[in-house]
A and B are shown apart, each in its own frame.
Chain A
């Protein structure tokens, strides 16, 4: 939590104002009903997937009650408490909408038949004229495994398009690739309940307190037991506040810090050589690679005092077991995979992987972020974490689905690449499911241009999101408690959500919409599902023998065991809560270590943009805010974004607290209120990203992507802050930070030169920012030239 609500309305008298806790929607102030039933289920929001009971009376969800589930212990965050208010919300979409008057027209009510027939007829025409791949599916990860699975199958079997990807691409795809490359399995290796067993936590780029509040109980339990806490974050988050050591890193410079930590651990002789010898490959290269990263060199690059780096390395390096936790702070980066691998290197060097309470733990963000990336809706993936370009995997899935393997499409464009294909006209139509690109993708002016090219843009959602506002056809989906299914939480625990009420109006579960579209496309026989369980049973078979093997996970077992950890290959297997206790998942059973060079973010401060902008979340909102911005309590706590500015910078610019300022980057500008607080680096500013239109932080962010997984760099770009009255030029007078930046660039060049095999730094200053990605060295984007294979790291990333 970083801002008080009086920030948004300084005149408000909170002593008297009961509405300050948010306007309740009509009907929610009545307490004249006693629940008939308590439906056991889980929260629809973040990756923790807290257990909860929904109170139901007369077919309506009227409230929420705590459920003592192993990983949340009856705890809920504010989003979880009010999540139930989405069912029966007045903003819900109740029937299909069509823009009958074409692009300029308005969305009008339509029947399901009209809407689906129109979509299918357009798709059939487009595919006949422009080929199968002219229609794409952009899916999401905040829905059940069953829905995600159906979306993947729908794209590949019903539409036969190669272009299916999902919003998990924007979330933690770099962590997924990092773990897959290092260990052969992409999953957090230990359950949250193991956190209290650790003796030191190194939290890198994760605002756990705001993004995973319920996880805090495990971290605090470890603290109660005396575990050390080290937090790497450019802001003093509620987690960093009480940390033993806070390393306020410059956004986007993490490899320098992580490598310096490892170098210091080596220097202090804290490396577990026996473990490295027995269980890893590549240690020698890593050791050589980190040698140039002295604490002083790292300090010049990442802005963290050298003595703190040394202290952190010792605090972390002397503890056993010790745990590295990381999330979007390092993953939303053009070198996200490398950041993750650098974290893993630390944990491996300390010999921690496989120990209870030790190792490295990624904290997946989306509700079903883990499941959504395993069940085959990713551009390069088939269900069960199978790979679309591995012949055996293709054969297995094609056989299961009953189609000739030749008909199974090959790898398509990643979500971030799709946008360019839409803008170029290669993709003519797209169905967006469970996603709000207009808020979530970087540089959203480009996104808007791309989406306007589509005809039709089909959006399946339960509220009219910023993306749905642009759609030609909007199909009303269901919220989580109107359907049943399974999700896989950030620990890899497969859990069951249950239906509490019937969908409102004519709304239908997303999987049913896909099935009905498939029937109209003449592919109905491949989707013979009567209920969700039928999909689940097919998914179990589809994942059988794959990396994420769900075969042994039955709904009954989930209920009995309070969730089952995959892999669970047989019906009598209890699942696998802790991974890597004996061996890693690579064929030789050993973990791979990768030397990590220092690379700066794609864009760094320059003459006209002297600051670093980083974006992130607020505890009250979830992802694009399409859900949480409609819930009175949550909106009241954070009704609009703001920009966090250090008092020193504010003094320099003459900005007062609560003043509206303009934040500009090479891509655009927006006006937001300034929060002057000393809890952020003076050279960094922060804007939360949950809002759309003129309030979207993604008007500013850099669309540059990571070369392998194409995750965008939300967490670092160059920016400036202007007073509204002042002319742009007046405020950009050289600040000390520019000098500091030039120095950083020299230091970077020095380190790069010292790092074997690294390219010489090629930087250009054209836009007023320092652009480290140039046309020459920027990642290759889809479509790839004929015969071109992807760069080696990418191939390695997915085939392990």
Chain B
């Protein structure tokens, strides 16, 4: 099932043209700077391209492009009113010493629940969690190995008769014997990540093939394409190992070219597709911090009656949250002030918003039948 979706754009185009153009300009500049920065780092890290493996140049170029595109999109994204407000508040909260003392454990905990262990996915389903952990760690591990390798930041030199010297960023890091487990682990790291990926992807594809709900709502480009790409990467990557182990490298050039092609395709797709969430996701830590700090009434010295629904008294996330939300809506040109002593619409909980509308309707209709 295919469909195209769009994120909402600014509604009053004329009013917002200039800031939008300005934001775009700064995004371009930041993107260019990010790309240049990476190129400089590659040059330094590979000691003036001395350690750079020209066979891997496709990967490096694609990565530079991806970084530029990511920086561009990230800047635009972070500049949106709601994001910017969270971004700013998140960093303010993070950089406050008072907060640090109070919430020392909060950030590590949030990293654990939101990024490393992703426990919230467990609540969406155990199988989904296993699937996502496999894919997540497969991708992270692969990137951690591949990127420095393609930048010429990592290399190994032979120390005769049976040792290896590992270099990173032009500095010698450690040595290890050829036959040791470390060596096996290092040289086969990508094989492990590929296996992890294949396990995760098999579950994901199986889900997408049999789940009646997913079958009708999934989009090929957004939901299936990334999985297919990752499968292609994992399979061709494993094939490289298999080829050198069992077929004496007879198909090596063909396979490595294919592998490079799909990886490049995948890298380029990151900023534009589903994988952008890898970059976005850490923002949830900022949101967690923001919400925890703002709910801490004592911390802000606010009145205990704050952050409650104006009608039913049920708790709202926090007064700060409501104030920020109103400001965000203001930025977007929306003002939900009900007038009189009704207050703003955002002062009500969702149920009471519906009831308010119901009462207005009842005021209009009474017990009439239309």
CB neighbors of B among A1-57 (8 A): 13-15, 31-34
| Residue in B215, B314, B367 whose beta carbon sits within 8 Å of that of A15 in the complex | B314
Quick check: is A223 within 8 A (CB to CB) of the other chain? Answer: yes
Which residue in chain A gives the minimum CB-CB distance to B352?
A15
A13-B210 CB under 8 A given contacts A241-B367, A242-B368, A242-B369: no
CB neighbors of B among A233-291 (8 A): 241-242
The answer to whether B212 touches A31 (Cβ under 8 A) is: yes
A242-B349 CB under 8 A given contacts A32-B211, A34-B210: no
Quick check: is B213 within 8 A (CB to CB) of the other chain? Answer: yes
**Residues from chain B with Cβ under 8 Å of A223 in the complex:** 369
Which residue in chain B gives the minimum CB-CB distance to A236?
B367
Which residue in chain B gives the minimum CB-CB distance to A241?
B367
CB neighbors of A among B88-123 (8 A): none
**Residues from chain B with Cβ under 8 Å of A242 in the complex:** 367-369
The answer to whether B350 touches A15 (Cβ under 8 A) is: yes
**Residues from chain B with Cβ under 8 Å of A32 in the complex:** 207, 210-212
A-B Cβ contacts below 8 A, count: 26
* Docked pose: A220 CA to B369 CA in angstroms: 9
* Docked pose: A31 CA to B215 CA in angstroms: 10
**Residues from chain A with Cβ under 8 Å of B369 in the complex:** 220, 223, 229, 242
* Docked pose: A242 CA to B367 CA in angstroms: 5
Which residue, of A15, A33, A242, has the highest number of chain B Cβ atoms within 10 A?
A: A15
Which residue in chain A gives the minimum CB-CB distance to B213?
A31
Interface of A is mostly: loop
**Residues from chain B with Cβ under 8 Å of A229 in the complex:** 369
Which residue in chain B gives the minimum CB-CB distance to A57?
B212
**Residues from chain B with Cβ under 8 Å of A33 in the complex:** 210, 212
By the criterion of a CB under 8 Å from any partner CB, how many residues of chain B are at the interface?
14
* Docked pose: A206 CA to B351 CA in angstroms: 31
Minimum CB–CB distance for B124 against chain A, Å: 11
Which residue in chain A gives the minimum CB-CB distance to B316?
A15
Minimum CB–CB distance for B279 against chain A, Å: 28
* Docked pose: A242 CA to B211 CA in angstroms: 44
| Residue in A15, A31, A220, A241 whose beta carbon sits within 8 Å of that of B351 in the complex | A15
The answer to whether A15 touches B349 (Cβ under 8 A) is: yes
Q: Mark A205-227, 1 if CB is under 8 A from B, else 0.
A: 00000000000000010010000
Q: Mark B211-240, 1 if CB is under 8 A from A, else 0.
A: 111010000000000000000000000000
Q: Mark A530-550, 1 if CB is under 8 A from B, else 0.
A: 000000000000000000000
Which residue, of A13, A32, A223, A229, has the highest number of chain B Cβ atoms within 10 A?
A: A32
Minimum CB–CB distance for B202 against chain A, Å: 15
* Docked pose: A627 CA to B361 CA in angstroms: 36
* Docked pose: A220 CA to B350 CA in angstroms: 30
The answer to whether A13 touches B212 (Cβ under 8 A) is: no
* Docked pose: A13 CA to B315 CA in angstroms: 9
The answer to whether B211 touches A31 (Cβ under 8 A) is: yes
Minimum CB–CB distance for A797 against chain B, Å: 38
A34-B212 CB under 8 A given contacts A13-B314, A15-B349, A15-B351: yes
Chain B residues with CB under 8 Å of chain A are: 207, 210-213, 215, 314-315, 349-351, 367-369
Chain A residues with CB under 8 Å of chain B are: 13-15, 31-34, 220, 223, 229, 241-242
CB-defined A-B contacts under 8 Å, sample of 25: A13-B314, A13-B315, A14-B351, A15-B314, A15-B349, A15-B350, A15-B351, A31-B211, A31-B212, A31-B213, A32-B207, A32-B210, A32-B212, A33-B210, A33-B212, A34-B210, A34-B212, A34-B215, A220-B369, A223-B369, A229-B369, A241-B367, A242-B367, A242-B368, A242-B369
Ranked 5 nearest A-B pairs via Cβ: A242-B369, A31-B213, A34-B212, A15-B350, A32-B211
Other A-B contacts than A32-B207, A34-B212, A242-B367, 9 sampled, CB-CB below 8 A, are A15-B314, A15-B349, A15-B351, A31-B211, A32-B210, A33-B210, A34-B215, A229-B369, A242-B369
